[in-house]
Amino acid sequence: MKAPRTAATAAATLFLSSSTVATNNPLTADKLEADIKTEELQNVLWNLNHIAINNGGNRAFGEPGFKASLDFVLERVQTRFADQFDTFVQPFNHTYDKTLEISVTGPEGEDVFVISPQYNPPTLVEGGITAALVDTPVDDERGSACFADQWEGLDVKGKLALVKRGLCAVADKSILAKERGALGVILYDEVPGTNIVVPTLGAENIGRMVPIGIIPLEVGQSWKSRLAAGEEVTATLLVDSISETRETWNIISETKQGDPNNVVMLGAHLDSVQKGAGVNDDGSGTAALLEIMTAVRRYDNFPNKIRFAWWGAEESGLVGSLYYTSHLTEAEADSIRYYFNYDMIGSPQPDFSIASNENSGVGPQLLDEYLATKGKEVRHGEFGSGSDFVGFIEIGIPTASLHTGAGAPYDACYHQACDDLDNIHWEALTVNARAAARAAARLANSLEGVPPRAKTSPNLRTRHGVMQSFKRWTALAEEASNGHTCSHKGKKIRV
Ligand SMILES: *[C@@H]1O[C@H](CO)[C@@H](O)[C@H](O)[C@H]1NC(C)=O
């Protein structure tokens, strides 16, 4: 981006113009759309990228870059926009984890490219675990080493299991390896090369897994053939990691105007992964929400409240949004009439994709119609489990989500260090932010086409599931805060 403005200059500009904020200027979709400017989105993303650069390269949960991102958003929504918005910072705790060091040494003593998943347990032996590799069968239909029967007859006790990635959670493979007595897992990727996406094992699985090193497909396949030929292959896996409870935050900010019982909500996550600045994931959604909010404050005369959420610890398992939805009272849940989720909406090779379900009402159509007028081909799908819409769907709130694709070819820098300012398709981001602005304006003015919250028993049962999962996390957090984590170096890290 050329000649980026600093936050301070932007602040001065806004202070000067704040006396001109109009009253009796009705909110319309057209006006809000016209207010969303590419250069302002660039300004926000320049700031978020800069925050990452100044804070060890990321904006991840538990790291200083997240706190700086929080302060950046608060400076605008809480300080500058205090006249138009009420802002609430919601604290919560979660298990922070970081791999300090990881290495895999091959049979010839060679260093092998390796990455560590989130919540990887440490190898507790000086110098790491050196052991024979035991191959596990590849199953490209059910997933390799995903089920107990696939481990039958394998003698992995005291050894390192060689496993192919894919089809089931990495944690499932690790839990089964531990149950069979393996000391660790060498997981080889499904796709060639070293552009390996970092998975999370989930804080809820701490204590049930063995250490893992994730290596390239090519290396895994070559070891596999050597094992098949009857050769003994020995490797060393070293993981030095810490985990401890850390506090983090959601920002919830809503218009003073509008009926508190009819709230239209927009959400994006504010945290990145530890590997990068998270400019597309999810600086893009964060910037869209900030600019929509900046525009909304110029207008009034809308009957429904607009609420913006910047979620914390999404990358650690949707933690902030699940904390929020699981702590809503029935009345508070009823008051949220719609939830829009914007996560990764500026992918460099955008694949415009809207997720919805039978309770999504008019939301997907509002996004789709605008994108179609801009010549975008939109794909429609069902919700997965990959973003902050999950908690809202669980409690039956009408929900829609927009995203433009993760992983190559859509976003080859997904969860990588290169998810920086060059990793955005500015036109796609602008069009998506405008679509989001229009949809918000429409529902702020009228809830026509919005179904009631679904309160059927399956949803309530799943809500119970969300609560249960939270209780387990809370218990783990307590466990972590009372204990300590050892590393292979015998260092004791106070938590
Ligand atoms: C987070 O943990 C700290 C330390 O145990 C505690 O004081 C605080 O109340 C916790 N916060 C929440 C929101 O649970």
> What's the mean pLDDT in 162-187?
96
Determine whether 332 is an active site residue: no
- Cis ω before 409 (30° cut-off from 0): yes
| Ligand 1 contact via 327 beta carbon (within 6 Å) | no
Task: Please report, as a single letter, which amino acid is at residue 53.
Answer: I
Judged against a pLDDT cut of 90, whether residue 53 lies above it is answered with: yes
Q: Where are the alpha helices (DSSP H) in 198-267?
A: 217-228
Percentage of residues in the chain having pLDDT higher than 70: 87
CA–CA dist 437, 16 (Å, integer): 24
pLDDT confidence band for 468 (50 / 70 / 90): low
3-state secondary structure of 104: strand
Q: For residue 88, give the nearest of 308, 340, 282 by alpha carbon.
A: 308
Q: Indicate which residue of 63, 314, 315, 394 is catalytic.
A: 314
SS3 191: coil
Tokens of 408: 């190559």
**pLDDT tens, position by position, 180-214:** 999 999 999 999 999 888 888 888 888 999 999 99
- Tell me which residue has tokens 């209780």: 471
How many A from CA of 92 to the centre of ligand 1?
7
The pLDDT of residue 465: 55
User: Would the pLDDT of 357 be above 60?
Assistant: yes
From CA 482, how far away is CA 495, in angstroms rounded?
A: 8
Cβ of residue 481 lying under 6 Å from some atom of ligand 1:
yes
Residue 266 confidence (pLDDT):
98
The DSSP-derived string for 128-153 is: -EEEEEEE----TTT-TT-SGGGGTT
Asked if residue 421 has pLDDT above 70, the reply is: yes
Atom of ligand 1 lying closest to residue 92 CA:
13
User: What is the C-alpha to C-alpha distance for residues 157 and 181, in angstroms, rounded to an integer?
Assistant: 4
Which two three-digit tokens encode residue 201? 């094992």
> Burial code of 323-343, b = ≥16 C-beta within 10 A, e = fewer?
bbbbebeeeebbbbbbbbbbb
For residues 419 and 397, give the distance between their C-alpha atoms in angstroms, rounded to a whole number: 32
| pTM, entire model | 0.81
Is residue 414 within 8 A of residue 281, CB to CB? The reply is yes
- Summary count for the chain: helices (H), strands (E): 13, 15
- The string of DSSP letters for 384-433 reads -SSSTTHHHHHTT--EEEEE--SBTTTBTTTTSTT-STTS--HHHHHHHH
Residue type, 390: V
**DSSP character string of 86-98:** EEEEEEEEEEEEE
Long-range CB contacts (within 8 A, 24+) of 3-12: 4/42, 4/43, 4/46, 4/50, 5/43, 5/46, 6/47, 7/47, 7/72, 7/75, 10/43, 11/75, 11/80
The DSSP bridge pattern shows strands 259-269 and 304-311 to be parallel
Is 91's C-beta closer than 6 angstroms to any atom of ligand 1? yes
163, burial (CB in 10 Å: exposed 0-12, middle 13-18, buried 19+): buried
Distance 100 CA to ligand 1 centre (A): 25
Residue for token pair 């932010």: 433
Task: Determine contact, residues 308/377, Cβ cutoff 8 Å.
Answer: no
Residue found by looking up tokens 């660039």 in the block? 42
Domains of the chain in sequence order: 20-84+256-455 (3.40.630.10), 97-244 (3.50.30.30)
- CA distances 1 to 8, 44, 130, 473, 491, Å, are 18, 11, 48, 41, 44
Distance CA 68, CA 59 (A): 8
What's the rounded Cα separation, in Å, for the pair 96 and 174? 20
CA distance 66 to 484: 24
Reported as a single tens digit per residue, the pLDDT across 434-455 is 999 999 999 999 999 999 999 8
**List of residues 6+ apart from 446 with CB closer than 8 A:** 303
For tokens 């300080």, the residue is 79
Distance CA 48, CA 372 (A): 30
Helices assigned H by DSSP within 269-389 = 284-296, 319-326, 330-335, 363-373
Return the ligand 1 atom nearest residue 247 CA.
1
Query: What residue's CA is closest to ligand 1, atom 2?
Result: 93
Confidence of residue 470 (pLDDT cuts 50, 70, 90): low
Per-residue pLDDT reduced to its tens digit, 75-106: 999 999 999 999 999 999 999 999 999 999 99
Ligand 1: atom nearest CA of 91 is 13
Two tokens, residue 362: 């008019």
Question: Strand, coil or helix: what is 394?
Answer: helix
**Least confident stretch, 300-304, 403-407, 467-471:** 467-471
Q: How far, in Å, CA of 214 to CA of 116, rounded?
A: 6
247 lines ligand 1 (CB under 6 A): yes
Residue 470, both tokens: 């939270």
E strands in 189-258: 212-215, 234-255
Please report which confidence band the pLDDT of residue 494 belongs to, taking 50, 70 and 90 as the band edges: very low
Ligand 1 center to residue 422 CA distance, Å? Answer: 38
pLDDT(391) > 50: yes
Among the residue ranges 3-17, 395-409, 416-430, 462-476, the one predicted with the least confidence is 3-17
Helix or strand holding residue 362 (H, E):
none
Measured torsion, CA atoms of residues 101, 91, 313, 94, in degrees rounded to the nearest 10:
50
Give kind and range of the element (H or E) at residue 203.
none
How many A from CA of 247 to the centre of ligand 1? 7
Whether pLDDT at 242 is above 50? yes
Query: Cα dist. 247→92, 470, 481 in Å?
Result: 6, 15, 12
Other beta carbons within 10 Å of 98 = 17
Sign of CA dihedral 332, 337, 341, 345: negative
